[in-house]
Amino acid sequence: MKHVLFVLTNAETIGPNERKTGFFFSEVSHPYAVLEEAGVAVEFASLAGGAPPQDGYDESDAASKAFRESLAYQRLLNSRKLSDIDVSAYDAVFVPGGLGPMVDMPEDPDLKWAIARAYEAGRVVAAVCHGPVALLNVRLSGGALLLEGRKVTGFSNAEEEGYAAADVPFLLQTALEQQGAAFEEAEPWQEKTVVDGRVITGQNPASAGPVARQILKLLGD
């Protein structure tokens, strides 16, 4: 059986107006549904452990409703602290978005070490929407940035301008590009995934399920 670790934010608010945030619900529920159907075991961690704050729950979304009623959701509410976990024991590490990651994931040393360790252990590293902020400032053992020269996507500047430009501390697309990434994007809110070696990124909530399918493809390979 394959094992995937979801790494979640613990940030409850963002920006000068203290906008409520957390992880975006469908960016967990949709990938979980894809992986669970394929027989992949999913575990949940967050930077601080415990119950991660959440945003965007939509009861009319079947996958989200099913996940919220599942035992897996109860496990998520008791997420493990990332620094207590050996990420190399998992086949893939996946970072969902939401605005929360823009608060606590750009610089967190435990997260940067975990992603570098997972990647250098030959594991798949994946993220969606604002989740690719977790890839910023990840240095590999040779000193190079993980993002340098790598094709990625994430929540685009065009999408942010119509969503949370007044709340985020910086624009994700710009930050990824500044660290040497080759950023690819679709039209706002359209599905887009990018696979570059063992790094998988998705642009927005519509891309969350497709990112999980790309994880399955790499794990199958």
Domain count across the chain: 1
pLDDT confidence tier of residue 221, bands split at 50, 70 and 90: low
CATH of the domain at 69: 3.40.50.880
**pLDDT tens column, 131-160:** 999 999 999 999 999 999 999 999 999 999
Task: Give phi and psi for 216, each to the nearest 5.
Answer: -60, -40
Mean pLDDT throughout 113-136? 98
Is residue 193 within a helix (H) or strand (E), and if so which, with residue range? strand 193-196
pTM above 0.85, yes or no: yes
Q: Is the pLDDT of residue 118 over 80?
A: yes
Query: Each residue of 4-25: pLDDT tens digit?
Result: 999 999 999 999 999 999 999 9
Structural domain boundaries, residue 17: 3-220
* List of residues 6+ apart from 215 with CB closer than 8 A: 4, 31, 35, 92, 94, 124, 126, 200
